Amino acid sequence: MYKILISPILFLFDAERIHYFVCELLQFAFKIPFVPQILRSLYTYDHPDLVQEVAGLKFRNPVGLAAGFDKNAEMVDELEALGFGFIEIGTVTPRPQPGNEKPRLFRLKKDKALINRMGFNNKGAAVAAAKLANRKSKILVGGNIGKNKDTPNDKALDDYLICFRQLFDVVDYFVVNVSSPNTPGLRDLQEKEPLTALLRELQKKNTEKFNPKPIFLKIAPDLTLSQLDDIIDIVKETGIAGVIATNTTISRADLRTSQAEIEAAGAGGLSGAPLAHRATEVIRYICDKSNHAFPVIGVGGIGSAKEAIDKKNAGASLLQLYTGFIYEGPGLVKDICKSLVRK
């Protein structure tokens, strides 16, 4: 019903505006008696074979929602009812920021893809922390953290530490985002020396805690094999929990959408179906080259159960959805979970 009746109507409107409309509608519906129970009965699939322990955390199923959908942790309870095994909020920055100029989110419908240049628009770490402190569900939540746009790279660590401190008591794991293409200069932090220094200091602060939280690194799909080798070395050297592969790509190769439409959308990160193969390649390379030394969370182009299984077969411990969730609807989570049990 979603693909036949609902998404064609939603896709008539500006992508960012309809996102907020749907989120507000979900939040409103969730307040109506019995609606949460109805949503859970429709979209949740629990099975003992789906339960997984990764990085010391117990996930009810391996299908999570990637960062970017619920930037300010405003819908964790509602999204839990749609069957996800975990939710990643953010990217969160220390101070609120409006993000890049609109329009900044575009659909490439022929490719089942999105281009975004949101620019870490969010209400700040303190707001996200307050929202999470008041949530009712027990679903595992990750905090995806970044730096403010006007913070120079040589001061980036300060921003990540602020977010780490603000969110520590209300999230189950952290994700260090240095791979978004939409904050100028951010991807420079993926280079070996600055990234090692950043992660080493974060992990130092983490291990000083009574209950350290797993820290993951989210990487770009555009890294070379030698850069991926560096990532493997950095994860082992710093002792962080693992990697999320991958973020959006700056590539525009092999798209069905017309060149004019692509150029009209402009700069930004591409997500969705065109990213599926490359993301799986990166997952497989890291898992094989590291001899599965740490968990990898697979994300990028998962729009069907088959693509989810491909990433699991490549070595991914957990999975995340975003663009596939937009195009295929909430039933995708249940479909994947059922297929993983049958696998």
Per-residue pLDDT reduced to its tens digit, 127-144: 999 999 999 999 999 999
d(CA 81, CA 40): 5
- Whether the CB-CB separation of 318 and 266 falls below 8 Å is answered with no
Q: Which is catalytic among the residues 7, 41, 179, 180?
A: 180
What are 155's two structure tokens? 């001061």
Judge whether 247 is annotated as a binding position.
Answer: yes
Cβ-based burial of 41 (10 A; exposed 0-12, middle 13-18, buried ≥19): exposed
Examine the pLDDT at 41 and tell me if it is beyond 80.
yes
Per-residue pLDDT reduced to its tens digit, 190-218: 999 999 999 999 999 999 999 999 999 99
pLDDT the model gives residue 109: 97
pLDDT the model gives residue 342: 86
Examine the pLDDT at 306 and tell me if it is beyond 80.
yes
pLDDT the model gives residue 183: 95
Judge whether 331 is annotated as a binding position.
Answer: no
Judge whether 100 is annotated as a binding position.
Answer: no
The predicted model gives 26-52 an average pLDDT of: 97
Examine the pLDDT at 343 and tell me if it is beyond 80.
no
pLDDT the model gives residue 1: 81
Judge whether 323 is annotated as a binding position.
Answer: yes
Judge whether 68 is annotated as a binding position.
Answer: yes
pLDDT the model gives residue 341: 97
180 catalytically annotated: yes
The predicted model gives 314-341 an average pLDDT of: 98
Per-residue pLDDT reduced to its tens digit, 87-129: 999 999 999 999 999 999 999 999 999 999 999 999 999 999 9
User: On the CB side of 262, how many CA atoms lie within 13 Å of its CA?
Assistant: 15
Whole-structure pTM value = 0.97
d(CA 186, CA 147): 8
- Whether the CB-CB separation of 272 and 301 falls below 8 Å is answered with yes
Question: Smallest Cα–Cα separation from 271: which of 293, 295, 243, 250?
Answer: 250
Judge whether 116 is annotated as a binding position.
Answer: yes
- Whether the CB-CB separation of 128 and 143 falls below 8 Å is answered with yes
Percent of the chain with pLDDT over 90: 99
Judge whether 177 is annotated as a binding position.
Answer: yes
Per-residue pLDDT reduced to its tens digit, 67-88: 999 999 999 999 999 999 999 9
